[in-house]
Each structure stands twice: as structure tokens, then as C-alpha cells.
Structure 1
Amino acid sequence: MAQPALPAVAPCELRSLRRRQASTAGTAEPGWHIEPSGVRLPLPARAWESEPMQETILTGLVVIVVLGVGGQWLARRIGVPSLLLLLPLGLLAGPVTDIVDNKEIFGNALFPVVSFAVAILLFGTGLRLRFDDLGKAGRRPVIRLITLGASITLAATTVAVLLLFDAPAPIALLTGAVLIVSGPTVIGPLLEAMHAGEPVRSVLNWESTTLDPIGAILGVAILNGIVAGDVADLHPALATLWSTVVGTAVGLAAAFVVLLALSRSLITDELVPAISLLFAVAAFGIADLIESESGLLAATVLGIVLANQQITPTRVIQLFGEQLEVLITGSLFIVLGANISPSQLEEHAWQIAILVAILVMAVRPLAVAAATARTSLSWREKATIGWAAPRGIVAAATSSQFALTLQSNDIEGGETLTAVVFGVIMGAGIVYGLTTPLVARRTGVALPSPQGVVLIGSDPWLVDLARQLGSAGADAALLTSDYQQVEVRADGYHVHPRILDRDQIGDFVADNGIGTAIVASRNDAHRALATALFIELLGRGNVFELPTGDHEATSRRGLLGRFFKEVSRAGSRPFLRGSNLTRIDEAIGAGARVATVTPAEIGPDDIRLALIERDGKVVLSGAAQPSADARLIAVVPHRPR
């Protein structure tokens, strides 16, 4: 007999119904509330779900983002690769405190979300891979590293896992396939810590980015062979080849459509990054529907093509990807770290330690030696590349996903796979994170920190300042407000007619070892654009903006100025407090000149511009106190003898 229709509950009554349901817990079926009169009232869909469950999910998401981004911030502040903090933080948030429960937060969507996020990361990394940066010296090593080097790593790792963990041969082969990947998310911070120059930087970037999708594709092929029971035949090799073809074809097709739309101005400027991301996601989804895991390669190919085409600039797309990368990388490490089983790590601790030692001390150097033999790389560059192979997001994500597939098919070895992979990620991350910068310095591959200064402006006294900096042994360069390079000579200067664009300014900064910029343009628009550009190139702390007058320097003081460092719209103030273009012009007009003096010779009316320390370091902050043997560059008034 059908029950009569019951009155619906208005949304505004939901909270009171929840309270009444709580007061009569256990007296009604889920989804129903019993009135004192005995009438059963239905609650709206999902209204009977516990609020604590929703709060747990929300808390978990907040913790993921806070720890993911905060861990990277802390790692950069203390000068260590972020991987060294992110995975332990994931362990802390997951198995240790149980704040982040991936099953509760994501359910069955966990690994699709992870793959989706990894595809965006690889698209953004592909946007930074330019063939011009790789050069002829680096192309052959990269091709051999992702073929011969990866094959050696696969074979050696498979044998090591087979012997150390007594794992079945198919599981050992699957583990070896997962561990051939490296990943830009871990190589990038490592390269920053190394201060590596070319071609080492480009070789490692290209190897890590291209191996990620290749390793994932190879792993899926082997996994399918294990599930089907025919891993020993040609199925994995043919599946890998087919996935590579599909991913490459879809990526190229997506790149053609994007470039066609950009070249015909079918996309407005403010939507270029978002539409490009749309095509990256679409390429990933279409390729993955055709062949599993080929979507990662499609997104990577799309990024590489966009980075190397000459039809339209893609810098704005790259910047958008870099901003997403921080959020996605940190969040993924926390999520995947929360999936680790500490008991499995403890059970295989000594085997994992031995495996890490084998991979770091033997397998990686052997693979690099074979792949770079008879190339133009020097032994120093080969040695540095041979000591840089951390594992990252793709290894963690694929191993977790593969373990779930094995478990669902009642195949043993999934827990061993994740324990080995995560153990190697953590162990190799610690070894490489702590030692690779030292190796780079010992081999001479690490570049010295850039100490050069670039002055941006068109006032004649800037020529004198550049000349004095050069005479003091500091690297100094000068650009006009319109970005024309000024060649400062002993008897004058020469302005080159060519106006530099954004990419040329980036090359100019790199070629001249520029680490600091002083923006002294009189045009407000030029000054704002120049400050923003050089902050992008050098970082906010290395860009100084000289105000035009006293009113601008004091307009931002007040209550907040007592607590916070005085900062302009973009760059910090150079020189002593109160220095500005108007004051310097008045002094120059009264007969003052830019000169180098000792601290004892500086006068009360002199305008200090720069401090040159004994080791040649240039200090532009007026707060620094000079030592007795330091030199000062200042605007010195005429003093009659």
C-alpha cells in the first residue's frame, strides 16, 4: 500500500529540524523526523548527514592547501627543497593525526583528481621548455637519457626490487617503470638550490618533464599486462607505443587549434591563460579517453609546442601556469603523503635504504654515463647530472593508483609497490636535497649569485653612477626608460637604437649577471611597468624604485608606516631615506657630482647612493653601516679647497 504524500520541509526549517532530529536520535529512520504528534516528516536530501562529516571534509581541504603552500614557503625561507617538508607534512596530516582522510574527502575521485592536476602541472612545465635553451650540446644527451638512460634505470631497478623485496617479477617490473620518472616539481626547486647553469639546467628540465608521461604510460601498459596475465609478451611495448602516438597526436592537434585562435585574435587578452588551460584540460581528457594515461603526454606536448612557436607570445600563459603550480604541487604532495602507510615503510625500512643507495650511487651514475658518452658535455656537467634524479608527483600518484588497481583485482604486491616508491621518493629527496648543491659547487657547475646592478632611467647622473660602480669592480648596466641599452664608456656613453622587448630584457639580465635593479624613470607609466617587469625577473626584494619627489616618499607614511617596512607600489626605496630624483637633480644643478669616497670623507649634505663592501658586494640600502675599508658612491657637493 502506497504511503500518502507528506509535506515537504522548507529550507528555512532545516536547522530546526536538525536540532529536533538530534534530540530524538535513534527514534526515527535516517531521513525522517518524528513530530511529537507522531507525524513522520521527511528531511531534504542529505539533510540528515552529520554536520561533523562535512566539517571534517572542509577541515581536511583547508589543511591540504595551508600545509601545501605553507610548506613551500617555509622551505624557501630556510633554503631547502620543498619535497623535504611536504611529504613529512603529508604523513603528519594523514596517518599520524588523521586530519586528512582522502577516502572521506575525495572518495573514488581521488586519483582522477590527481591525474587531472598532474596534467596541468606538466602543461605548465612544458611552457618553459624551449629548444633554444637546450642548444645543440643538450639535445643529444636528453634524447639518450629518456631512451637508453631510462632503459638502464628500468632494468637495474627491477632487478634490485626483485632481490631486495622478494617481490614477484611483474611487480618488480612495475616498480621499476614507476621509478624511471623524475619530475619537474622536484627538479625545479633542486635546480634553484644548485644555481645550475646551462646546459645542465635545460638537460635536467627536459629529461624530468618528458620522462613523467613516458613513465606513466609504460607503467599503465605493464599494469594492464599484469591484470591480463600476459606481461611477458609484446603487449606492454605495443601499448606504450600506441599511447605515445595518441598523446602526441592529440597534443599537436590542440596546439594547432590554440595557435589558430590566438593568431586570428579570436581570444581576448584577459582570457588567453584560461582558454589555453581549457585546451590543455581538453587535450588531457580526450587523449585519456582514447588511451589511458596518454593524456599526460598530450598536455606536455601542447605546452612544449606553445613554448617554441613564433606566432604569438605566450609569456602570460606561462605566468598563469607558474601561479597554479605552487598550489597544485603543494596540495598533491600533502594528499599523496597522507596515503602513505607508516607500518609498510617501517616493515621495509632497511630494504628501502639499500635501494635508495643503489639508485643514487650506482644506477643513476651508470645511466647518465652511458647516455652522455661521446657527447659534448664536460665531465663536470655529466657528474652533476648523474647526481640529480629525485622522484616526484607522478611516481607517487601512479604507484598509489596502480596499487588500488592491483588490490581490486586480488593481485598481491600493491602495498609493497607504494611502500617502495614512497620510500624512494623520501630517501632520494633527502640525499639529493642535501648534497646536490654541494656537488654542483664542487664540480664548478653552480653559477655565482648575480651581483650586477641595472639602472633604468634617462638622467645623465645615472651614467656617472654606472661608471663609478664599474670602476669599483661591480657589474653595472644601464637602460633608458624606453629599454634602450646604454653603453657606458670612460669618455662618455653610447645609446643603442634597438628597443629591447620583454624576452630580450630577460636575456640581457642573465647575460650581464644582473641581481639588482634601480628604477629611476621620471615617467610614472614607464616606472610602474619597469618595476613590475624587473620584479618578475629578479624578485621584489631586489628591485628598488626611486621616487620623483618628497611628496611621493612621504605619502605612504603614517600609522602603518611605523610597523611595516616602507615599500612603494612595487619596489623598495633605494639609498638613504629622503633620496629622490628631485633632490639629486637640485644637487647636480648646484655643482655636485657622483663620486666614490671613503666613509671618513662623506659629508652631511652628501647623498649616499651605494655602498661597495670589501668583497665587491653592492649594498643599495641606506640602513647598512659601512666598515672602515668600504667605499661609498655618493652625490658629493662641490667643496672649495
Structure 2
Amino acid sequence: MFPSVLFEIMLIGLLGIGSQWLSWRYRMPAIVVMSVAGLIVGPFLGIMNPQEDFGTLYKPIITVAVAIILFEGSLNLNFKELRGLGRPVFRISTIGAFIAWILGSLTAHYIAGLSWAVAFVIGGLFIVTGPTVILPLLRQSKLKPRPAKILKWEGIIVDPIGALLAVFAFEIISYLTDNDPSGVSLLLFFAASVFAAILGWAFGRGIGWMFETGNIPEYLKSPTVFIVVIMCFTIADEITHETGLLAVTAMGMTLANMGISSVEDMRHFKENMSILLISAIFIMLTASLNIDTILHIFEPRIIGYVVLMMIAVRPLSIFLSTIGTDLALNEKVLVGWIAPRGIVALTVSSYFAAILGDAGYEDASIITTLTFGLVFFTVVAHGFSIGWLAKKLHLSMEGRPGTIIVGSNTFTVELAKSLIKAKAPVIIVDSSWEKLRKAREAGIPFYHGEMLSEQTEYHLDTTPYEYLIAATDYHSYNSLVCTTFMPEYGRTNVYKVSPYKQIDSDTNDIVNKIGGRILFGEEVSTEDLNQNIASGFVVRQTTLTDQYNYKQYVNERDDAAVLLYMIKPSGKIIFYAEEMKATPESGDIVVSLAPQDKKIQAKLENRRNGTNENGK
């Protein structure tokens, strides 16, 4: 044990964020890394046990985290986004969720041996996949747009529904299994639920109104929402237990559908806060397990339950709910297999384990074991199989990582052509139909719309693309695009063409602080690149070898040539940009915009002038 609780809090944060970083660095499911970290410092080495060390604070910490996580999930439920999702997503999120609940509850009762009340509570909870676990898998597997869209929106929609379903299931089943059932208690619960929903709506509308009227300064908006969420949850939960979850969900949905720009501005804060809470809570939960709980996971009834949930309940719910839709068989197979349960399921189940235990259900003690087993096995099985299965079913985006180019002009069209030649997905986005003419004539994929528009987020699938290049004629717009998409693509994958030739020296320091790494060097502007194309420059590929290394290539290349990007043997594309740290090696392909060979250029000139090689 540690000498102070403060040191333990520090270690929990360090292990949580460190696990997230390792999962990103080595492309592993974050839950697997956090599970291993928590188990090592907890039951295996006995270094800490947060449940014992924090004492009476442990349960409130978990409760607050659950409230924040559910609020963050419900803040994604914008009804505008649900309209264009089509029948498969709607069916899976409604009929499929209901079938999964019933089948999962029956499996929990007859296979895991749980009482009806406990079985139906966790049956409702386990329909949750959740964006916190499914989105990282989609990014690393590079699924085709349709199955990726289905899995993504199922996770977002069902995330808050599962917890609410568990709440209502607990109350209804408790009423039905009571020896002396009284309709008064059930009516009181439903009345309290209506009150909680109205309370959440009122808090959401109130915060939204204060944001819109400027009654809360910008620097206080995120902290205010954070505290109000806790207040909303606490008031509802103090009146009637378990209704706090409904209140914060209603609050999040209300804010999400008010169309307030401030809510979008807080997106990164709430995502960061959610990641921090999820990481810390998961370490706390796994470190608080004991060896007996872990050994129980390997009991036949637990293993049988987990296996049936994976190979029977999930596929059946998907196949039955999508009857009559246009989903192909291979899409049904993939979606029917991929359903990793995540941190939301584990944190909320821990909350219900305490509630059910206090209500006198002795078998509630097995909930944590059952949940941890389902979470761990599904994340490992689905996390490491999604890429392989997608390729087998021909549902993966093959080839190199793709690039979104914002701005259609002569240079970007040639750049897109070279990327297509390199077998890398590319798309040009522009709001001007006239400017897109060159891209259309060249047969390059394009999207006609405003990149910063809300509608673009719904209609442009960005799954195949890892890089974004802003290369319009408006440098302030390029910087705005880069700043907007930097959190999504990462600081090192967002680029803009140099603005320095068309700004004065007084604004250089401003440009340096705005998002987006500068492509090809500060001295190369969009205007220069377009002029180079007009004067006959061409895109060239040069393969480096042991006999012809990068140093030789640099020494022999034309001084006017512009280095564009490198293609590594692995298929990774590295654009030439400021602070580029990659070193070209043998086997790399260097792509540049260079003047034509003089002999070839002379032939073209002669052909244009109507003369032969001898000048006749």
C-alpha cells in the first residue's frame, strides 16, 4: 500500500493515460492495456486496492463518473443526425436492441444462473457497445463506409439506452417478483422517472439559454456544465434512486438538439474529460478486483454465458432485426460478430451491482465478474479479429492511407492524380462547382460542399482518410480548416500550404500559432505550385536504392523541384512538411514536382511548333 491516497490518485491517473497512449502507439484495444495495468497493480501485486483505500468516497466517485460518461454519450444524440441513417441502423438500434435484451437476459438466467431481476438488469445493460470502444476499432480496421457507419451509430444511439433499460428493468422485475407487490411503488417510480426526465430537460434548456444569451462567460462554460451535470444527477437520484441516469441523459439530449455553437465548442473538453474519467475509473475497478473474482471468470457457467452472448445472442439479434433491409450477407456477418462491450458497461454495471446488493439480491456479487469477463473477452476477440474478418469478407478499405484535399485547383488535381497512382484513397472537397470542374474532368473523387458545414459531417465518409490538406486560395480559411480538424486527425496529419508570401510580417506570429503544419516549405505557396504546373512541371516518382541513396538524389535533383511526399515500403505516406522527422531510406519512393526533362521538353516544344527533331 502507498503512504498516501494522493500518491495512489497520481498512480491511477498515470496508469490510465499511459495505457491509452500505449494502445494508440501500438494499435491495441485500450481496454486490454488498462485491464492488464489494473490487474497487475491490484490483485496480482497487491500494490493498491482503491475500493478499500478510498473507503466511503469510492462509490460516489464511480457514481459521478457514470453520470459524466452517460451525459457525454447522450450529448452525441442529435436527432438531425439520425434521420439519414437508414433502416439498418434504426432496426438494429431498436428491434435488435430489444431482441438482444430478451435473449441476453434469458442466457444470464438459464446459463449464468442469475435471478430474473439481476438477469434482466444486466441483459439491458449488455446491449451497450458504446463509441468509446467501437470507434478506436473502426479506425484501426479501416472498414468500408456502410458497416463502419452502422457500428458507429449503433454504439452512439444504444449507449445511453442500455443504462436506462437496466434502470426500468430493475424496477419492473422487482415489482413482479415481490411477494406482496404494490402498484403504488411502481407508479411512484414512473412518476419519479418523469420528473427526472423533466428535470434533465429543464437543466439542459436552462444551460442552453444562458449560453445563448451570454450570461456565462466562455471560460466558465465547460466547468459550469460539469457541475450542473453532477447537480442534475444528484437531485434526481436523491429523490428516487437510479433516476439520476435518466436525468443526465435527458439533459445531454436536450443540449445536443438545441443547435448551440457553444456545445460544439465544448466537444473537445467533454471528450477529454470523458477519456480521463474512463481511464481512471477502469484502473480503479480492475485494481479493486480480487483473485477469487478473476478466477470466477473461468467458471463453466461464466464462460458459457460469454460464448453464447458472442456467437448466438448478438448474431441472432442482428440477423432477425435486419430482415427486409438491404444489408448484404457479409455485412450482417461482420456486424453480427463485432459487439465489444466497453468501459461504459463495466462502470455502469459496478453501479448496479451496488444497487442490487443493497436491495438484497445475493447474486448481484457476480455481476462484476460476469461483466469483466464479457468486456475482456469481447474486446480481445473482436479487437484482434475485426481487421482479419473484414478482409475475408471484402469489407475493408484496402490500400494505403487516404488523403482529403480541401480546395480544387491545378496543383491539387495533379497531387490527387499522383496519390491515385500510388494506390492511396483521395478526395477533393470544394464548395465551388466551377473549381471542381478540373477534378471532375480528371476523374478524381470529389465532394461538392463546404468542409466546415455540419452537413458535410453527415454526408462525407472520412473513414478511409488519415490525412487532411488545406490548399485553397484563402490562407485564413486553410488555417481554420486545419484548426477544426486537428483533434480528429491529429496534429501531425493536418497540413496547409504556406501562407507566408501573401501576408505581412506583422501577422507571421499569428500564422505560426494557428493549426496545420506547413507543406513543402514556407517559400512554396499555392500560387507558386499552380504556376509550376502551368509552366510544365510534372509529378515524378523516384525509388531510392542502396546504389542511389537519398543524398545522391538531393544533390542531383533540379533546384526548382518541390519535394511532395514519400511512400514507405509499408505503404505509409509521409508528406514533406515543417518538422518532418522521417529519414528516407532504401526502398522508399520520393514524389516530387519537378521540371520536365530538357530533352522531353524540347520534343514537346517542337511538336507544338510543328517541327521535327532536326528543326525542320
Q: What range describes the TM-score normalised by the shorter chain of this pair?
A: 0.7 to 0.9
Q: Which residue of 1 aligns with 2:366?
A: 416
User: Is the counterpart of residue 632 in structure 1 residue 583 in structure 2?
Assistant: no
Rounded Cα–Cα distance in structure 2 between residues aligned with 1:589 and 1:349: 67
Deviates more, 1:173-182 or 1:578-587: 578-587
Rounded Cα–Cα distance in structure 1 between residues aligned with 2:152 and 2:265: 21
Q: Which residue of 2 aligns with 1:369?
A: 319
User: Is the counterpart of residue 359 in structure 1 residue 309 in structure 2?
Assistant: yes
Structure 1 length normalisation: TM-score?
0.74
Residues 287, 485 of structure 1: alpha-carbon distance in 2 compared, 3 angstrom cutoff = farther
Q: Is the 8 A contact 2:104 2:313 kept in 1?
A: yes
Q: CA deviation at 1:295?
A: 1.8
Q: CA deviation at 1:150?
A: 1.4
Residues 465, 287 of structure 1: alpha-carbon distance in 2 compared, 3 angstrom cutoff = same
Residues 343, 476 of structure 1: alpha-carbon distance in 2 compared, 3 angstrom cutoff = closer
Q: Is the 8 A contact 1:549 1:583 kept in 2?
A: no
Which of the numbers 374, 377, 389 marks the counterpart of 1:427? 377
Rounded Cα–Cα distance in structure 1 between residues aligned with 2:351 and 2:459: 45
For residues 216-235 of structure 1, the aligned pairs below 5 Å read 216-218=166-168, 220-221=170-171, 229-230=178-179
Q: Is the 8 A contact 1:130 1:304 kept in 2?
A: yes
Residues 638, 569 of structure 1: alpha-carbon distance in 2 compared, 3 angstrom cutoff = farther
Q: CA deviation at 1:56?
A: 2.6
Q: Give the secondary structure class of the aligned counterpart of 1:517.
A: strand
Q: Give the secondary structure class of the aligned counterpart of 1:518.
A: strand
* Runs of at least 5 residues in structure 2 that lack an aligned partner in the other structure: 504-511, 544-552, 603-616
Q: Which residue of 2 aligns with 1:208?
A: 158
Residues 406, 205 of structure 1: alpha-carbon distance in 2 compared, 3 angstrom cutoff = closer
Rounded Cα–Cα distance in structure 2 between residues aligned with 1:320 and 1:485: 38
Rounded Cα–Cα distance in structure 1 between residues aligned with 2:411 and 2:389: 44
Which of the numbers 31, 46, 50 marks the counterpart of 1:98? 46
Q: Which residue of 1 aligns with 2:614?
A: none
Which of the numbers 530, 533, 539 marks the counterpart of 2:481? 530
Q: CA RMSD in A?
A: 4.4
Rounded Cα–Cα distance in structure 1 between residues aligned with 2:163 and 2:406: 43
Q: CA deviation at 1:614?
A: 9.9
Rounded Cα–Cα distance in structure 2 between residues aligned with 1:357 and 1:590: 60
Q: Which residue of 1 aligns with 2:575?
A: 620
User: Is the counterpart of residue 594 in structure 1 residue 537 in structure 2?
Assistant: yes
Q: CA deviation at 1:478?
A: 5.2
Which of the numbers 56, 73, 78 marks the counterpart of 2:26? 78
Q: Is the 8 A contact 1:130 1:307 kept in 2?
A: yes
Q: CA deviation at 1:434?
A: 2.1
> 1:189 is aligned with what amino acid?
P
* Runs of at least 5 residues in structure 1 that lack an aligned partner in the other structure: 1-51, 553-566
Residues 596, 400 of structure 1: alpha-carbon distance in 2 compared, 3 angstrom cutoff = closer
For residues 236-255 of structure 1, the aligned pairs below 5 Å read 244-255=193-204
Q: Which residue of 2 aligns with 1:581?
A: 524
Rounded Cα–Cα distance in structure 1 between residues aligned with 2:423 and 2:347: 51
Q: Which residue of 2 aligns with 1:16?
A: none
Q: CA deviation at 1:460?
A: 6.0
Q: Which residue of 2 aligns with 1:543?
A: 494
Q: Give the secondary structure class of the aligned counterpart of 1:515.
A: strand
Rounded Cα–Cα distance in structure 1 between residues aligned with 2:398 and 2:191: 45
Deviates more, 1:149-158 or 1:343-352: 343-352
Q: Is the 8 A contact 1:180 1:215 kept in 2?
A: no
Residues 172, 322 of structure 1: alpha-carbon distance in 2 compared, 3 angstrom cutoff = closer
Residues 620, 236 of structure 1: alpha-carbon distance in 2 compared, 3 angstrom cutoff = farther
| Number of aligned residues | 566
Cα deviation per residue 1:413-438 (whole Å; 9 max; x = unaligned)? 34333322322222232222222333
Residues 323, 449 of structure 1: alpha-carbon distance in 2 compared, 3 angstrom cutoff = farther
Q: CA deviation at 1:447?
A: 4.3
Q: CA deviation at 1:463?
A: 5.4
Residues 385, 459 of structure 1: alpha-carbon distance in 2 compared, 3 angstrom cutoff = closer
Residues 225, 398 of structure 1: alpha-carbon distance in 2 compared, 3 angstrom cutoff = farther
Rounded Cα–Cα distance in structure 2 between residues aligned with 1:420 and 1:156: 12
Q: Is the 8 A contact 2:95 2:321 kept in 1?
A: yes
> 1:118 is aligned with what amino acid?
V
User: Is the counterpart of residue 185 in structure 1 residue 132 in structure 2?
Assistant: yes
Rounded Cα–Cα distance in structure 2 between residues aligned with 1:590 and 1:172: 67
Q: Is the 8 A contact 2:405 2:471 kept in 1?
A: yes
Q: CA deviation at 1:332?
A: 1.0
Which has more radius of gyration? 1
Cα deviation per residue 1:117-139 (whole Å; 9 max; x = unaligned)? 11111221222234444423222
Q: Which residue of 1 aligns with 2:102?
A: 151
> 2:60 is aligned with what amino acid?
P
Rounded Cα–Cα distance in structure 2 between residues aligned with 1:389 and 1:78: 22
Which of the numbers 370, 380, 388 marks the counterpart of 2:338? 388
Q: CA deviation at 1:337?
A: 0.8
Q: Is the 8 A contact 1:186 1:390 kept in 2?
A: yes
Q: Which residue of 1 aligns with 2:609?
A: none
Rounded Cα–Cα distance in structure 1 between residues aligned with 2:212 and 2:530: 52
Q: Is the 8 A contact 2:282 2:343 kept in 1?
A: yes
Q: CA deviation at 1:61?
A: 0.4
Rounded Cα–Cα distance in structure 2 between residues aligned with 1:181 and 1:548: 47
Q: Give the secondary structure class of the aligned counterpart of 1:106.
A: helix
Residues 431, 246 of structure 1: alpha-carbon distance in 2 compared, 3 angstrom cutoff = farther
Q: Which residue of 2 aligns with 1:291?
A: 240
Cα deviation per residue 1:56-115 (whole Å; 9 max; x = unaligned)? 311210111111111111112221211112122222222223333224442222222212
Q: Is the 8 A contact 1:64 1:100 kept in 2?
A: no
Q: Which residue of 2 aligns with 1:119?
A: 67
